[in-house]
Homo-oligomer: A and B are copies of this chain.
Amino acid sequence: MMQKPKTHIFVCTSSRVGGPQKGFCHSKGGVEIMATLLEEIEDRGLSGQVTVTNTGCFGICEKGPVVVVYPDNVWYGAVTVDDVEEIVDEHIQGGKVVGRLVL
């Protein structure tokens, strides 16, 4: 069996199946959130344990930008680039969900 990531973080970048990404999370910084998250994970040497994946729409655009953490099953909303460090510090490394962002 393959080595699964300990934590898998999904970031909505409004990727569409039929064409280029377009939508709420994309317009509100989804791509920058994704890039910042990847950078924080790499900087801390967590790439082997944490996978970050961009996604299409989660269907809750009014709550975006959306970041979902599995298998923890924690859904964050209205995430900004400035929240990324706290999510990594508190949740991914500290094991404590960032309550103020939870949906």
Residue numbers of A with Cβ under 8 A of B are: 1-2, 4, 8, 10, 13, 15-17, 19-21, 31, 34-35, 51, 53-60, 63, 68, 70-71, 73, 75, 102-103
Contacts and interface: CB of A to CB of B under 8 A. Distances in A.
Nearest to A18: B31
B63 A58 contact: no
A87 B35 CA distance: 33
A55 B58 contact: no
A31 B17 CA distance: 6
22 contacts: A2-B60, A2-B63, A2-B75, A2-B103, A4-B73, A4-B75, A8-B68, A8-B70, A10-B55, A13-B56, A15-B16, A15-B21, A15-B56, A17-B21, A17-B31, A17-B35, A17-B54, A53-B55, A53-B57, A54-B56, A55-B55, A71-B71
